[in-house]
């Protein structure tokens, strides 16, 4: 069995890493920059208990949030609220107002992916 990769490593056509190698403490882990992602925006965000993010929206990019750990409350529009734990997902249209808050007792970690332009479709090919 090989050893777990914890550092960011770039290869010919790929990159791997761990968010712990991309920063410390609360804040953004710039996954897009660290792994040289070119087709969509992606960040991992670590937030302390009780932290509430800015109420915001986007001009163009749809976003997908994935809760890795902790408990987050998402507020959409003025008052629609949903609480998501580990494994929870939320897709948000660009213009939809949104805010999130860590409502758990511990740090929360989530990943946010943003893009525009549409779905490519199933284009995987078997290597022979």
Task: Give the pLDDT of residue 120.
Answer: 85
Q: What is the mean pLDDT of each run of 10 residues along the chain (128 residues)?
A: 90 96 95 96 97 95 97 94 98 97 98 92 88
Domain boundaries, the chain: 26-115
Place of tokens 């199933």: 122
Give the DSSP H or E segment for 35. helix 31-35
For the chain, the farthest-separated pair of C-alpha atoms sits apart, in whole angstroms, at 53
**Both tokens assigned to 111:** 């990943």
Q: Which CATH class is domain 26-115?
A: mainly beta
Q: Model-level pTM? A: 0.92
Q: What is the DSSP letter of 96?
A: S
State residue 28's pLDDT score. Answer: 95
């Amino acid at each position: 069995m090989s050893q777990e990769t914890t550092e960011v490593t770039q290869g010919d056509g790929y990159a791997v890493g761990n968010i712990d190698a991309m920063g410390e403490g609360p804040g953004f882990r710039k996954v897009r920059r660290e792994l040289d992602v070119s087709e969509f925006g992606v960040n991992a965000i670590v937030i302390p208990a009780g932290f509430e993010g800015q109420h915001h929206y986007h001009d163009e990019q749809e976003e997908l949030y994935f809760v890795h750990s902790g408990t987050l409350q998402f507020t959409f529009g003025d008052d629609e609220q949903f609480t998501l734990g580990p494994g929870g997902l939320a897709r948000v249209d660009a213009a939809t107002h949104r805010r999130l808050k860590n409502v758990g007792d511990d740090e929360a970690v989530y990943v946010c992916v943003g893009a525009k332009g549409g779905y490519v479709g199933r284009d995987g090919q078997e290597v022979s």
